[in-house]
């Protein structure tokens, strides 16, 4: 078994259109929608800073130029690297595959539109698992769940036996935070030989090999921000949180 690992990179997927949030965002791309005074992408980066990573690899797609200009104003204690996915209109596994050449060690995977009231990535780094396994943070007791839209997880022991929106019965919900072994890229490539891959389909390929385990999330409220109703819920979720380490406007190097 392996214990805590030193994770040097995180990958943040910020390439989608976010069309269901259009009423709340106006002309802003979804990662730049503000919650509690900060853009969604800033909240994701705060999670990465708290986890102590050295580099955040951010996959852009729609409105990439606006996101790049925003990121150029941030001062953060980690390197920002941008990868543009021209196929951003396809499933999100395509965006993850776009960084395959940038990653050589276990890395975090974050969704730019998932918000957490407290730092959570360190839970993944501290969990025990076998070498080569990937880890998914799951919530057994989600609050305010949109059951139809949630990616659901069936758990067997410490492992995951099924994942998807169509999984019934289920034991927990996928929170969108992972610690992935680079073998995930082989799994995604296998899917890509049949169809454009989603992250969920990549996880199913790992499950078939016994390479995906669950890490429980307890006592931390979170939400994904897909609709105007989600946005209002996110504002309430973070309204009472004391904000610390808010990225300041400056100009770090982007590569």
Instruction: Give CA–CA dist 213/129, Å, rounded.
Output: 7
pLDDT tens-digit map of 200-215: 999 999 999 999 999 9
Model confidence at 252: pLDDT above 60? no
Please indicate, yes or no, if residue 31 is contained in any of the structural domains.
yes
Model confidence at 198: pLDDT above 50? yes
- Count of the separate structural domains present in the chain: 1
Is there a contact between 78 and 55 (Cβ–Cβ < 8 Å)?
yes
Please indicate, yes or no, if residue 75 is contained in any of the structural domains.
yes
Q: Which helix (H) or strand (E) holds 84?
A: strand 79-84
Please indicate, yes or no, if residue 137 is contained in any of the structural domains.
yes
Give the confidence band of 4 by pLDDT, cuts at 50, 70, 90.
Answer: confident
Structural domain of residue 122, as residue ranges? 9-242
**pLDDT at residue 244 in the model:** 38
Please indicate, yes or no, if residue 154 is contained in any of the structural domains.
yes
Please indicate, yes or no, if residue 1 is contained in any of the structural domains.
no
Q: What is the pTM of this model?
A: 0.91
Residue of 254 and 32 predicted with greater confidence: 32
Model confidence at 253: pLDDT above 70? no
Please indicate, yes or no, if residue 159 is contained in any of the structural domains.
yes
Return the ∠ at Cα 186 (arms to 208 and 60), rounded to 5°: 115
User: Given CA atoms 78, 103, 48, 133 in this order, what sign does their dihedral have?
Assistant: negative
| Residues forming a β-bridge with 223 | 115
CATH code where residue 107 lies: 3.90.550.10
Please indicate, yes or no, if residue 4 is contained in any of the structural domains.
no
pLDDT tens-digit map of 90-119: 999 999 999 999 998 999 999 999 999 999
C-beta neighbour count of 189 within 10 angstroms = 15
Instruction: Give CA–CA dist 84/15, Å, rounded.
Output: 8
% of the chain with per-residue pLDDT over 90: 75
Q: Which whole-number Å values give the CA distances from 34 to 145, 189, 206, in the listed order?
A: 22, 34, 34
Please indicate, yes or no, if residue 253 is contained in any of the structural domains.
no
Instruction: Give CA–CA dist 223/85, Å, rounded.
Output: 25
């Amino acid at each position: 078994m392996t214990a805590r690992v030193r994770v040097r990179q995180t990958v943040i997927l910020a390439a989608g259109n976010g069309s269901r949030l259009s009423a709340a965002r106006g002309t802003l791309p979804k990662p730049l929608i503000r919650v509690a005074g900060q853009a969604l992408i800033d909240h994701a980066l705060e999670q990465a800073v708290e986890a102590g990573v050295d580099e955040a690899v951010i996959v852009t797609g729609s409105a990439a130029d606006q996101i790049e200009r925003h990121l150029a104003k941030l001062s953060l204690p980690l390197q920002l690297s941008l990868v543009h996915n021209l196929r951003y209109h396809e499933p999100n596994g395509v965006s993850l595959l776009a960084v395959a050449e940038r990653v050589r060690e276990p890395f975090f995977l974050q969704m730019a539109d998932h918000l957490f009231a407290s730092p959570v990535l360190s839970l993944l780094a501290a969990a025990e698992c076998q070498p080569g396994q990937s880890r998914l943070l799951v919530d057994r007791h989600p609050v305010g769940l949109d059951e139809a839209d949630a990616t659901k997880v069936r758990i067997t022991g410490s492992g995951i036996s099924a994942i998807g929106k169509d999984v019934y019965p289920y034991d927990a919900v996928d929170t969108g935070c992972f610690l992935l072994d680079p073998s995930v890229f082989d799994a995604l490539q296998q899917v890509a030989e049949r169809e454009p891959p989603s992250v969920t389909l990549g996880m199913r390929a790992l499950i078939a090999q016994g390479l995906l385990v669950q890490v429980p999330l307890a006592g931390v409220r979170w939400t994904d921000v897909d609709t105007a109703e989600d946005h209002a819920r996110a504002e309430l979720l973070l309204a009472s949180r004391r904000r610390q380490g808010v990225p300041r406007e400056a100009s770090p190097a982007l590569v």
